[in-house]
Amino acid sequence: MFFWLKALLSGLTIALVSTLARRYPGLGALVASLPLISVFGMIWLWLETKDPARMEAHVGATFWYVLPSLPMFLLIPWIMRHGVPFWLALGAGCGVTILLYLGMVWLAPKIGIQM
């Protein structure tokens, strides 16, 4: 039952953002930029484990994984301004993000970051 509650709340959040963005793009972007999924994830993890060490590790790793995802939000609109269709721009943005994630996974242990 808890799984379905988590899925419902998370899905409603995504639906709210897309509905809001359709009418008010700036406000939709603001809500989308909030770390709601991360906060939900932390809440669900805490309710299921109550484990401070696990929470610390999760939140710390989340920070480091957010960093390689940020360039996508600059790359996609830049590519689209140059005439590239949305789906291709999205694919390129996701591809670059995957490469940056792989780079982060490779680099993090070398500089003492535990993921």
Measured distance CA(10)–CA(18) in Å, rounded:
13
Structure confidence by residue, pLDDT tens digits, 72-108: 999 999 999 999 999 999 999 999 999 999 999 999 9
Measured distance CA(94)–CA(115) in Å, rounded:
21
Average pLDDT of span 41-48:
92
The overall pTM is greater than 0.95 = no
Banded model confidence at residue 37, pLDDT cuts 50, 70, 90: confident
SS3 sequence, 25-85? Answer: HHHHHHHHHCCHHHHHHHHHHHHHHCCHHHHHHHHHHHHHHHHHHCCHHHHHHHHHHCCCC
